Copies of this chain bind each other. A is one copy, B any other.
Amino acid sequence: MAEPSRTAGPAVLGVDSGGSGLRLAVAPVAAPRVRPEFRYASDTPVRTGGRGIDAHHLLGQLLPAAEKLRQEAGVPGFAAVCVGAAGMTTLGQELRDVLPQALADAFGVRALALAADAVTGYAGALGQRPGAVVAAGTGLIALGADPGSGAGWRRTDGWGHLLGDCGGGAWIGRAGLEAALRAHDGRPGASPALLRAAEERFGPIGGLPGQLYPRSDRPAVLASFAPCVAREAAADPVAAGIVRRAAEHIADTAAAACPPGPDRTVVLTGGLFRLGEVLRAPVRAKVAARLPDAVCAEPEGDPLDGALRLAAALATDTVRLPVDGALLQLVRHGR
């Protein structure tokens, strides 16, 4: 494997911008994966304003950090760049307007990929192979693709905590709190164990609505109870039922996202799966039942790896993931 150096040939820049901050990495086109020595991370998220994701705030962090990485890697510029960002589809107009020229001026970049974070997540987990990637945290979304087939992205769920995100962290926590309140009221579907757990976490249960509804981060508050539900599932049948239904929803969403055909891979990513085998095992079993021809696998890399892979594919003109101008858009300098 070639190290990025003056003699390693062209290099690419990958960018991952999300709610927890901005991350950058530089790698050779021939070996597009994140190495700690050519990686930069800031915990200052790029601002979102009235014009969407603030391109100038992004560039203020990106340009000096990328220049430092370029010098350390000993490359003259970048053959291509991929920027993956949360909200790219709906909030990325200013990035589309500003980034191509700015990156051309700074690094001689002639090709830029602008991707939703779900797309860099897919590319990091699966590269350009066919299958589906579930991204589960507070919310839940799955993205599927059959690269090279001409078919577009298969985006499934991700509708938010009131309309969907079925099986995600807020969904599990909400169901657990409902079961706790059913125990308080004496209604069916009650879990005295979850009532105890909820009062340990939130205080007397009668005060829970007053704690939850005034907050703007209600989904996160709900999701904060998901680990309690997973823990109680070992001994409490109602909690176990909630985790089982969450696993069914996750498998349903993965199956709907996965394109038909042989040799598909399904990958589970995101913080929700840190709940452990109590959730992962039934999801794998249900995915196997719904998609007998697919394999469940661990992700090969993270979204920053995905950005490097997409940039390298762009540099070598080998992008096969669906380019739809929304989830994934390719921009050549001058156009």
Q: Which positions in A face B, CB cutoff 8 Å?
A: 90, 156-157, 159-160, 162-164, 166, 174, 177-178, 181-182, 185-189, 208-210, 212-213, 218, 222, 252-253, 256
- State whether A253 touches B187 (Cβ < 8 A): yes
A90 partner residues in chain B, CB cutoff 8 A: 210
- State whether B162 touches A174 (Cβ < 8 A): yes
Candidates B156, B178, B182, B212; contact of A185 at CB < 8 Å: B156
Known contacts A166-B178, A178-B166; A160/B253 CB under 8 A: no
**Considering the chains assembled together, what is the distance between the CA atoms of A188 and B164 in angstroms?**
13
A222 partner residues in chain B, CB cutoff 8 A: 162
**Considering the chains assembled together, what is the distance between the CA atoms of A182 and B166 in angstroms?**
10
- State whether A159 touches B256 (Cβ < 8 A): no
- State whether B218 touches A162 (Cβ < 8 A): yes
Closest to A198 in B: B163
Closest to A212 in B: B162
A87 to chain B, nearest CB (A): 12
**Considering the chains assembled together, what is the distance between the CA atoms of A86 and B59 in angstroms?**
52
Contacts A160-B209, A164-B181 known; 7 new A-B pairs at CB < 8 A:
A157-B187, A160-B213, A162-B174, A162-B218, A163-B178, A163-B181, A189-B252
A256 partner residues in chain B, CB cutoff 8 A: 185-187
Could you list 21 examples of A-B contacts with CB < 8 Å? Answer: A90-B210, A156-B187, A157-B185, A157-B187, A159-B178, A159-B208, A159-B209, A160-B209, A160-B212, A162-B213, A163-B177, A163-B178, A163-B208, A163-B212, A164-B178, A166-B187, A185-B253, A186-B256, A187-B252, A187-B253, A187-B256
A187 partner residues in chain B, CB cutoff 8 A: 156-157, 166, 252-253, 256
Rank and list the top 5 A-B pairs by shortest CB-CB distance, nearest first.
A186-B256, A156-B185, A187-B256, A187-B252, A160-B209
A252 partner residues in chain B, CB cutoff 8 A: 187-189
**Considering the chains assembled together, what is the distance between the CA atoms of A76 and B256 in angstroms?**
73
**Considering the chains assembled together, what is the distance between the CA atoms of A189 and B199 in angstroms?**
33
